[in-house]
Amino acid sequence: MPVTLLPRLSAPAVDQLLSGGPGGTSTVVIDDLPDAITYGAVGGSRLHGADLVALKEGVEKVARAVGYPGAVTVAARATFDAACARHLAQVSILQSGEAHRDDVWAFMAAYLFRTITLWRYGEAPERHHGGVRNTFQRLWMRGSVLDRGDGHPERWGLVNGLTEDAFVAILERPAIAANRTLALALAEGWMTAAGRYGRAAMQPIMRAAVIRIRMRNEILALGALSPEDLRETVEAVFVEAEGAVRRAARQA
């Protein structure tokens, strides 16, 4: 099946946009994209025209539902992140290798959805450039990696339920994020532990758990374990992490 090539924006081009500030970026031209926006040279057909408009309108619809372009509260930001993650994970053109390219997400954050990026994060460079901090790349990763699967009664339970700190702990660590089985197991473990210890207590517990998971994964490929063995291993890690955090608090 031919790949749909997505528009790309290089890091220098993003820097140039940022150096000009928000002015002059509110009008997005789709029929005649600027020269700085490129596509892969071979391997598929370019995405443009009506499909690009549909992509833009779909994300804007999600943003408007939580108050864009008006003032945004902490609750609205969290609602947008969860809804946009669910949306992006189900967009068919984002289910190929093109969506793993940082410069594709740079195009989206710094050009196609620039006004939403500014509304969500202001002019923070890391939210415009491609990478795990990109406004939309981070959300696509959440929806893609932590989707429990079509047909699951709580398909988006992890996307809706984890805290920002938990998302960062899982998805900004390549050794975990690159192994979907492990990432899912760790997210499920977080949900179970949060139910046991309380969400407010989870930040230090999660950090301690991730350290232990990464150490174990260096010795044993955790993603290759059976689902039951992996679940038990992750649950034991969270119990161990909570105990370590509790002991450290007593000694402080």
Give the model confidence (pLDDT) of 133-167 as tens digits: 999 999 999 999 999 999 999 999 999 999 999 99
In the three-class reduction of DSSP (H, G, I as helix; E, B as strand; rest coil), residue 37 is classed as strand
CA 210 to CA 212: how far, in whole Å?
5
Place 1 in a pLDDT band, splitting at 50, 70 and 90. Answer: low
pLDDT per residue as tens digits for the range 69-116: 987 788 899 999 999 999 999 999 999 999 999 999 999 999 999 999
Over the stretch 113-129, which tens digit does the pLDDT of each residue have? 999 999 999 999 999 99
**Alpha carbon of 148 to those of 56, 119, 151, 235: distances in Å?**
26, 30, 9, 18
CA distances from 196 to 7, 22, 173, 212, 239 (A): 45, 45, 25, 19, 10
Proportion of the chain above pLDDT 90, given as a percent: 81
Q: Is the pLDDT of residue 23 over 50?
A: no
Residues 6+ away with beta carbon under 8 Å from 208: 241, 242, 244, 245
For the segment 184-212, the average pLDDT, to the nearest whole number, is: 97
Q: What is the chain's mean pLDDT, rounded?
A: 92
| pLDDT confidence bin for 2, thresholds 50/70/90 | confident
pLDDT-derived band at 191, boundaries 50, 70, 90: very high
Positive or negative CA dihedral for 20, 22, 24, 27? positive
Cα(159)–Cα(58) distance, rounded to whole angstroms?
A: 19
